[in-house]
Amino acid sequence: MAGACLLLTLVVATGGCSRTDPGTESKATVACEVLYGAVDDGGPNAAVHRGMVAARRTLGVELRTHSGTQPDLAPLVEEHGCDVVVATGSPLGNAVLQLAKQHPDISFVIVDRFFDFTSAEDLVRRNVRIVAYRSDQVAFLAGYLAGGVAGPHHERGPGPAGPHGDIEARHEGAVATFGGANNAHNRVVMDAFRAGVLAYGEDNDEEIDLLGWNGRDGLFTGSDVDIAGARRITNRLIERGAGVVFSVAGGAGVGAIRAVLTAGKGVVIDSGGWSLGRPHRYSKVLLAGIVKRSEEASFDAVRDVARGSFTGGLEVGTLTNRGVDLELMNRDVGHLPESLRRNVEELEVALRRGLVSIDAADYEPTGHEHHN
């Protein structure tokens, strides 16, 4: 393994805000959730919604739920008297930040927004909490896992084949990935997955074919809610020999799962934040999933507002603080070898300690070039 250290981002917070004045009669906190896509998407929206429902049940808050791909935030806030607005998805991020400027007495939470971790532009807003996740760390583990499951592989050799070649060439037993929206977040996660695939090949002196992303170009549906598009792309990848498909398409990842179910072959690793540790209707073909603690994040935000202790700033879920993780959905899927499972667990420990690089450049085999 290359030894470049991984810099983990810590929580940054600023002063809090509350709409309840001391000495006034308390009223039920009005919690409004705005979900990008469907409420019951089986992934990120469903997780946030469970946290909000738990807040209503245990804290007695009033819950208002709005979902869709073009929700109008301003009327929602004005009509429902929201004390806290919890929104999901990067597409809503800018609209929430703009609305927060206009309503400094309302608390806003953006769950699972891409943050480049090099800018503190949004951290000075006392009424905005951004909850981001280092999905790239877990994607590296997913790539390593996929490399060990896909097979059969062949020994390394010089030449243009491999993870940097034609993203749509046919390769039996290949590993594949695709994205939803072609944005920075999805590209970063896909490249970390590619790094994990390369790392497995380096450790085992094998060359593993990766379809769908070559470090520069890749396959994208164009939207994280395009289930039909995800299904079409996955069908193409299966036709070209993909045995493991890593979906980086948010709630649209269900399209990849349905394609694999219909094809009757292959397995899926999903990055959409599936809540595991409970029976799942897709466990037959889901090898693993990236788990984001969005349920806890939404509940905690509403609780803090209800108690008058809300603070803004950036909260980052990492492997180290267990805000994000890779969990196996069904260990029988893909006939996962026990030795591979142990290797992934050991690699996860090393990542938590910052001892392993997730930069694909650190695992590039010699003699390979990018081919579009």
The answer to whether residues 190 and 179 touch, using CB atoms and an 8 Å cutoff, is yes
Give the span between the Cα atoms of 144 and 157, in whole angstroms. 20
pLDDT beyond 60 at 181: yes
Alpha-carbon gap, residue 83 to 56, rounded angstroms: 13
Q: What is the pLDDT of residues 15-47, one digit of tens each?
A: 344 444 444 445 899 999 998 878 877 677 888
**pLDDT in the model for residue 5:** 29
CATH architecture of 12-17+28-134+293-317: 3-Layer(aba) Sandwich (3.40)
Lowest mean pLDDT among 218-222, 236-240, 249-253, 343-347: 249-253
d(Cα 92, Cα 73) in Å, to the nearest integer? Answer: 9
pLDDT score of 171: 47
- Three-class SS of residue 61? coil
Q: Please, which residues have CB within 8 angstroms of residue 119's CB and are 6 or more apart in sequence? A: none
The domain defined by 135-291+323-363 folds into Rossmann fold (3.40.50)
Mean pLDDT for the stretch of residues 200-217: 93
| Average pLDDT rounded to a whole number, residues 217-226 | 92
pLDDT of residue 6: 26
Q: How confident is the model at residue 331 (pLDDT cuts 50, 70, 90)?
A: low
The predicted structure's pLDDT at residue 186: 92
The DSSP secondary structure of 355-369, one letter per residue, reads: -S---GGGGPPTT--
pLDDT for the residue 172:
54
Q: Who contacts 89 (Cβ-Cβ below 8 Å, separation ≥6)? A: 35, 36, 37, 44, 112, 113, 224, 250
Tell me the backbone φ, ψ of residue 92, rounded to 5 degrees.
-90, -10
Choice between 155 and 234, residue whose per-residue pLDDT is larger: 234
pLDDT of residue 14 exceeding 50, the answer is no
pLDDT band of residue 91 (cuts 50, 70, 90) is confident
Place of tokens 């591979």: 340
Q: Which residue has the higher pLDDT, 6 or 128?
A: 128
Q: What is the pLDDT of residue 220?
A: 97
Are 86 and 34 a contacting pair, CB within 8 Å?
yes
Residue 86's region, left for phi above 0, alpha for psi from -120 to 50, else beta, is beta
Distances (CA, A) of 312 to 84, 222, 239, 304: 12, 31, 47, 11
8 Å CB contact between 357 and 6:
yes
Residue 196 corresponds to which amino acid? G
Does the pTM surpass 0.85? The reply is no
Condensed to tens digits (0 to 9), the pLDDT of residues 71-86 reads 678 887 888 899 999 9
Q: Where are the domains of the chain?
A: 12-17+28-134+293-317, 135-291+323-363
Q: What token pair was written down for 129? A: 């909490």
Statement: residue 111 has pLDDT above 80? yes
CATH topology match: 12-17+28-134+293-317 vs 135-291+323-363: yes
The two three-digit tokens of residue 36, written as one number:
């990008």
Q: Is the pLDDT of residue 366 over 70?
A: no
Of 79, 132, 121, nearest to 97 by C-alpha is 121
Cα separation, 227 vs 180, whole angstroms: 9
pLDDT in tens, 231-281: 999 999 999 999 999 999 988 888 999 999 999 888 899 887 655 444 466
b/e 21-55 (16+ beta carbons within 10 angstroms → b) = eeeeeeeebbbbbbbbbbeebbbbbbbbbbbbbbb
| 234 vs 156, residue with greater confidence | 234
CA distances from 216 to 114, 165, 194, 253, 370 (A): 19, 11, 11, 22, 8
How large is the C-alpha radius of gyration of the chain? Answer: 21
Residue 164's pLDDT band (cuts 50, 70, 90): very low
Instruction: Give 213's DSSP letter.
Output: B
- Rounded to the nearest integer, the mean pLDDT of the chain is 81
Find, among 44, 96, 51, 42, the residue nearest to 73 by Cα. Answer: 96
Whether pLDDT at 129 is above 50: yes
